Structure formats: structure tokens, C-alpha cells
Structure 1
Amino acid sequence: MTDEQLTDAQPGVGEVASDEAPARGIPNGVDVARALEAIFMVVDEPQSVVGLASAVGRPVKEVRAAIAELVADYDGNGAAGGPRRGFELREVGGGWRIYVRSELDDVVRDFVHTQNPSKLSQAALETLAVIAYKQPISRGAIASIRAVNVDSVVRTLLGRGLITEAFTDSETGAIHYETTDLLLVQLGINSLDELPKISPLLDDGSEGFDDVR
């Protein structure tokens, strides 16, 4: 038996239960690849194959095949022979997520900057401050500090080019964020070391951000 056959015959920990479709999932007759595509359009974090299998109620092996189909489709190598898309389905940190193709990053960044000149909300400013002083930091850690859900705010900051994905934790799959050079330009400073000290503004400066930045 080959390694590939052995892998399919003996799924990893957490995959066994997913090989039997749970009660929830997509209706019979609905294309698995299209269902996954819909999920990828709304998620903010890379999604594991096991988690996706649970969401659509299909075996892990079938979901893997559907993902491969989407990858080929977006790359212009699908059965229908369509064009190469401006986005791709990429595996990052053990999960899958749709990303803009790297060669189009500048185009998207320029569009966002020119089409969205509005000021940041108070929530966005507060989240940006947490990232600036605590980077690299995960979305969960940001939410813990602010005690609110920060998903939409993080998307806004990413779209504005003020923060970027620094790395993905290999164990948890959590994306960690850091600020970009654009933030320095917008603030008119040369480095993060020029940010004002937080401690004097807190009731107890010893618990401020300054010592951990």
C-alpha cells in the first residue's frame, strides 16, 4: 500500500468522525466545491479541511478533492479551462483561505487607498493602537484586550494597508498582525520607537504596553 493510500485509509486524529457526514451540512445535490467557495468568501481565517468537512457534511477525502478542484479552477487549470483568476485559494498554517494574488497586491492597495479616504472609526483607531504597541499579535489577543469582537475592524485595517499578516502560528493556526510602513507615513514618524508612551496615560503605568512592545 502506498503512503497516499495509507493516508486515505487511515485519516489523522480528528478526521475519523468527519468521514461520516454529520446531521448538518449542504443539501443533497449541491456541489461541494461551490459550497466551499461560498464559505471561503466570508471567512477571515484559514479553514482546516476537517472543519470544512464538518461544515458541509461531507467526507474529508471528498472535501480535499473539491479544494483541489477550486485551486485548479482559480489557477485557470480547471476542467472548464477558464481564465486565471485575480485571487487564489492558498493553504496557510494548515488551513485554506482565498487571497489576492501577490502580483496584484499593489493594484488592490492603490484602489483601497484612493476609494476609501474616509476617516477611521474610534473602534478602528483603538484596535490599530493595540496592534502598534503589542505587535505581532493575534486577532484573539486583540479581542481579549478590547473586550469586543474585532473581526470587521481588522478587515478594515487590512484593507487600508495599515496592518498586514506577519505570520501564522503553526500550532493554533492563528494569524498574527503587525503594522505597515504606511502607518508610519500616515503618522509622520520614522519608526515605532517614536510612538508616544502609554504608561503616563494609565492609572497604573507599570501595567502599560511600553515594556512589552
Structure 2
Amino acid sequence: MNTQLKNNIESLLFISHKPLSIGDLTKVTSSTADEVKSVILEIEQEYQTKAGGIEMIRIGDKHQFVTSSESSEAVKKFIKSEITGELTKPSLETLTIIAYRGPISKAELELIRGVNCSVILRNLLMRGLIEAKEDPKKMIVFYSITFEFLKYLGLSKIEDLPDFEKLNRSNNLDKLLAGPSGEAKEANVSEEIIEQKITE
């Protein structure tokens, strides 16, 4: 058994917001389809035989981790609190960057913020404030704001955000996203703009 490959696939299935195919996992892990299928089968058997709060489901040739039916009530309660609760400062910062610079990838977001954004992105997706679309050629997911976000702020279009043209075309951010040599004085886009609109 390839323990590292198994660990990698489990991690990918855990962080992904959508089911992953054998092809997806093969490309990301630089493994063969047979190797991935073998590991997937092993993971499936492991989660079928142990009692826990996480299950693995198969949809065609795609796989995903989901919460168990026994935990449904606790999960519903948590999701409700996550969706209806106030946005945290890190969430506001992430949402602001997506609003002004989207569509933007997770890697670009984390380059700007300097921290992992997986949990925050999942929360914003659950709230319906952002959406994720995959570029089939690049195999990269890009995030952008939704109509729900605009309604949340009482705006008719994204260009109505304060200083949108300036921040959307920030040369410093372009340098940062192009490589580590660029200095990004404006990379920390102030979430106060979004927060002010929300609390108005």
C-alpha cells in the first residue's frame, strides 16, 4: 500500500468542495489511474467498516467525503449558525479581495492573505456569497461574488463598490500575483469597505 498516496487522496477529498474523479486525483497526485483506483477502493472499505461522522460516497467515477446521516442534526445546527452568524474579520477580508479581484483562485487568495483560506471559502460558499467555477483547461477553481452578495450589500452591480476601478486594477496586486518579487502595498484590501456596507 502506498501510504503517502492514500494520505494525499484523503486530504484532497476532504478539502474539495465537489466530488473528485479518478482523473482529477491522477493528475494532482501524479499517479496512475490503477494506483488511484486501488487506494480509493481501500479508503472506501475502511470507511464502510468503521463507525464515525464521515462517510465516503461515489457518484459515477467521482468520490467525495460527506457527513454521516447519524450526525445530520448536529451538522444542520452548525451550518445554520455558520450561515446566519456575523462574518468574521478574516471572512470579510477574503470576501473583499474576491469582490475586487475576482475571479480569483484559492492559490492567489492565499498569496495575498498569507494564510490558508479553505475553511473561509467553504463558509462563504455555504452562505451563497461567492461561487466557484472550474476552468476545464487549467484544472483550477476560480472564485467570484454572487448576485446574493450584491443583494446583501444593496448594490445593483459590482462596479458600484467604492473605489472599484482603482482596486480592481491595482498594479501592486498584479505584481504580487505574477510572482514573489512584487511588492503589494495594496494587497491587504481593506475589508472595512465591505463591513461598512453590511452594517449600513
Partners of 1:184 and 1:192 within 8 A in 2: yes
CA distance in 1, matches of 2:119, 2:11: 17
Superposed CA deviations along residues 117-146 of structure 1, whole A, max 9, x for unmatched, are 110110000000110111111000011111
Taking structure 1 as reference, are residues 206 and 135 closer, same or farther at Cα in structure 2, changes over 3 Å only? closer
Counterpart of 1:156 in structure 2 is: 123
Superposed CA deviations along residues 183-203 of structure 1, whole A, max 9, x for unmatched, are 011101111011111688x9x
- After TM superposition, the structure 1 = structure 2 runs for residues 93-172 of structure 1, keeping only pairs within 5 Å, are 98=64, 112=79, 116-171=83-138
Taking structure 1 as reference, are residues 65 and 154 closer, same or farther at Cα in structure 2, changes over 3 Å only? same
Counterpart of 1:181 in structure 2 is: 147
Comparing both structures, which one devotes a greater share of its residues to helix?
Answer: 2
CA distance in 2, matches of 1:99, 1:164: 20
User: TM-score, structure 2 length as denominator?
Assistant: 0.54
CA distance in 1, matches of 2:142, 2:170: 25
Q: What's the offset of the Cα at 1:161? A: 1.1
Counterpart of 1:44 in structure 2 is: 16
Q: What's the offset of the Cα at 1:48? A: 1.8
Taking structure 1 as reference, are residues 126 and 23 closer, same or farther at Cα in structure 2, changes over 3 Å only? closer
Q: What's the offset of the Cα at 1:153? A: 1.1
Query: Secondary structure of the residue that 2:156 maps to in structure 1?
Result: coil
Residue correspondences, number: 148
CA distance in 2, matches of 1:99, 1:90: 14
* Partner amino acid, structure 1, of 2:105: S
CA distance in 2, matches of 1:179, 1:169: 20
Q: Relative contact order (C-alpha < 8 Å, sep 6+): which is higher?
A: 2
Superposition CA RMSD, Å: 4.3
CA distance in 1, matches of 2:84, 2:3: 46
* Partner amino acid, structure 2, of 1:61: D
CA distance in 1, matches of 2:27, 2:130: 29
* Partner amino acid, structure 1, of 2:25: S
Query: Secondary structure of the residue that 1:120 maps to in structure 2?
Result: coil
Taking structure 1 as reference, are residues 161 and 68 closer, same or farther at Cα in structure 2, changes over 3 Å only? farther
Superposed CA deviations along residues 89-117 of structure 1, whole A, max 9, x for unmatched, are 477xxxx55399xxxxxxxxxx9567631
- Unpaired segments ≥5 residues, structure 1: 1-20, 27-34, 72-84, 101-110
Counterpart of 2:161 in structure 1 is: 195
The structure having more radius of gyration, on CA atoms, is 1
